[in-house]
Amino acid sequence: MNTLLPAGARRLVSKADRRPLAEPVLPDYPSNARCFVHLDARLLPHWHTLFDVCPALLKLDPPEGLNLFRSFMTWAYRNRPALDWTYHLNVCRWLLGSPYSTQIGDEPIEAFMAAAAARWILTDDSQAAGIALSWRNVRVLDWKGAASTAAEQQVSAAPDLDFAWCPLSERGAFGEWLPVP
């Protein structure tokens, strides 16, 4: 169960207590079409995952982004993207396949990639020191601790995958790109 913590209290909760259970939580996407007419409380978390991460999306569907949001929620209900670190990358996939795709530049993609990397950092239990994400010519690196400039220089060319990721070792060594599920 996710609980909301007051500002500043998050640092008091151990990182292990904030980690999700090993078993993934099934996404709860509302199926009632009436809740799409006016935003109801069940939709607010989904609204914030889009527009808080990338407020520039509001410019694609002024003034409030409701058509874009309804389109996303319809897609999310049908496709049920996982609510793990890959969620924001799946939002990118939706954006790139949506009617708004011709208006999407690198900025929104990079914002969602940064959100995915931050979520990975928060939830990853492996020995990896960081993560590298790639899409076309956009790269995002994030670290659990201090950044490694050596790894940043080692990041190779983007693979032929739509989105790819690579865990970065303790020494900052770059491995091979893996497809994002």
The domain spans of the chain are 31-179
Give phi and psi for 133, each to the nearest 5: -120, 150
The whole-number pLDDT of residue 146 equals 78
* Position 156 pLDDT exceeds 80: no
Distance linking the first and last C-alpha atoms of the chain:
24
Taking each helix axis from N to C end, the angle separating 66-79 and 44-51, rounded to the nearest 10 degrees, works out to 110
The pTM for the full model equals: 0.76
Q: At 35, is the pLDDT very low, low, confident or very high (cuts 50, 70, 90)?
A: very low
Mean pLDDT throughout 170-179? 80
* Position 119 pLDDT exceeds 60: yes
* Position 62 pLDDT exceeds 80: yes
Mean pLDDT throughout 24-29? 60
Mean pLDDT throughout 108-112? 96
Mean pLDDT throughout 32-54? 75
